[in-house]
Chains A and B, each alone.
Chain A
Amino acid sequence: MSIDWSAGLPLRIGNVMIGLTETSPETAGYWQGVMRHELMIKVCMHCHRYLYPRRLLCPECGSEALEWLRAKGTGTVYTFSTVYRAPSDDFETPYSNGLIELDEGVHVFGRLIGKAHELISIGDRVQVEFGELRPSGGVLPVYRIM
């Protein structure tokens, strides 16, 4: 299972539903890709720039003609941090998150796996995998250091 965020999640104060977290039909294709174990980014059909999955229009040329493209799933660690103090007890420490520069040039955030935390370095090459991450309860892209 993957959580589809694109319809928004109910935001509650006590028993009162006060709205939805950001509804984002524009990211549905990303989460559908996660279900298929494919990492999706967007591409501008006008200026051919690769774009972050959230984009609604191309900031470079203003075109609304964006399409989904399956990324190769390989990239390089731009930066990272190993978390020793988690936001809640649901997360088992330590774990490492980083920003990955995909080979298409788009940067994504994700979990780094496959190497001892203290040995992870900027510049490490990674390959995307799909795994269920506690406690999110859903499948997410994770990045294995090669």
Chain B
Amino acid sequence: MTKVNPLRNAAAITAVGTHVVSLEEERISSLELQLRARRAAMASAGVTRQDIGAVFTGRAPMSYTAMQWNMRIINDLKIVPKMSTEVTVHGAGVLATWQYAAMAVTNGLIDYALCTSGCMGNRWVDLVEVNAGVEADLQFEAPYGPTTPSLYALWAQRYMHEFDVRPEDTARVAVENRRWALHHPAASMRHKGEISVGDVLESRLIASPLRLLDCSSWYRGGGVGSAVIITSAERARQSDRPIYLTGFGQCTTHEWVTERMGLWGIEPSTKPNLVTTGAAIAARDAYSSSGIGPQDVDLVETSAPFTFLNMMILEDLGFCKKGEGKDFVNSGGIDFAGGLPFNTNGGYLSFGQAANGMHMAIEAVEQLRGEAKGRQVGEPRHGLVHFHGGPNAAHSVAVLSAEGAI
């Protein structure tokens, strides 16, 4: 008999908070952005600072460099957590905060956890320059002038070579993500309207084989701050439409892309390669811990920031076999009309990359609650969320379930 994972549906999200700063608004600090999102979440959950037992944050924002970012948050909120940390597996850490929060409330160590992320970096610094320094090995890569897209392009070039993927295949991801963005009021690229495969292929080269429209945009206005309150399923039942945390998986393989090629003898890199990712391992664990499979998933949100990577991730999340992502996408697999609901706010490509992206996970919560006005995907039961960070280095996957589905 299979042992049921004790975390399965044992914790839930009872409230979310979002604060968006649009292009027209004055810039604020990343700290203020997160604190405003936090206030909305706590008010919605009806909890006070005295109720919060744990604070988990994503990594420090790029325009508010601080070691131990979680300390800045509690410093301002005057919360006295029993456990607190910045979860720094790059962008994957933001979703991992939900896993640690679930573990803490399930063990009865605390009653309520606050998880928060958000960055106003786009309005304060040149993120292209800054990010290259964060993403590359300062000693052995940075002196050659890599950019973040050019490091991911190393994966793209090899993946497309091995599986005979053409730029027009990956372009379709951008086209379908854009269609979703047109229905989200805060999506970065909404004002640009629809795009075609031709538009993607004719956009300027950024780092071959990636063109402008193959790449995510930094959130246009500057920032989206996000926060959630997580508590035990028992407590959550007293709240309105809690969303249950059903399963989790994480997998981190490297710090720099060159070091990934120095990884052997362990999944997903039994032999050095740039075509498998930790997402496959994280997804396998998320499915086994949740007891559901890809066929049960009603919507998928991912923080994959490039067209080709969305395709790889669809493979690694189990929606098609390795190397068949192009066939899945080309046969309408993620079409806005009739396909698997995928990046239903436009994703990193067309909603925009805001910090390390808790907004993508909150999109899944809103969908599962039936609150995604104008883009609601029927009555979904299970949502799959994938976060990633580093140069395809760290992956986290969560299965979320609506109240009626557990």
Contacts and interface: CB of A to CB of B under 8 A. Distances in A.
A83 B138 contact: no
A97 B261 contact: no
A23 to B, nearest CB: 11
Given A82-B207, A109-B258, A87 B140 contact: no
Interface string A68-93: 00000000001111111111100100
Interface stretch (B46-54, B75-83, B103-111, B145-153): B145-153
A54 B256 CA distance: 12
Contact of A86 (B147, B157, B161): B147
Most buried by B among A87, A107, A117: A87
B138 to A, nearest CB: 6
B161 A83 contact: no
Contact of A83 (B147, B257, B258, B274): B147
A81 B150 contact: yes
Contacts, number: 107
Q: How large is the interface on B (under 10, 10 to 19, 20 to 34, 35 or more residues)?
A: 35 or more
A27 B139 contact: yes
15 contacts: A22-B138, A27-B139, A54-B259, A81-B150, A83-B146, A85-B149, A86-B145, A87-B132, A88-B129, A99-B154, A99-B274, A106-B262, A108-B140, A109-B137, A140-B144
Contacts of B204: 84
A109 B257 contact: yes
Contacts of A108: 140, 258
Q: How large is the interface on A (under 10, 10 to 19, 20 to 34, 35 or more residues)?
A: 35 or more
A24 interface: yes
B144 A133 contact: yes
B36 to A, nearest CB: 26
Given A83-B146, A136-B144, 19 more contacts: A3-B143, A22-B138, A52-B258, A52-B262, A79-B155, A79-B158, A81-B154, A81-B156, A81-B210, A82-B207, A83-B145, A85-B149, A87-B128, A87-B129, A99-B257, A99-B261, A107-B258, A107-B262, A110-B144
B331 interface: no
Contacts of B147: 83, 85-87
Contacts of A122: 157-158, 161
Contacts of B5: none
Contact of B145 (A52, A53, A60, A95): A95
A82 B208 contact: yes
Ordered nearest first, which 9 A-B pairs have the shortest CB separation? Answer: A81-B153, A107-B261, A87-B132, A136-B143, A79-B158, A91-B145, A82-B208, A109-B258, A84-B205
B205 A78 contact: no
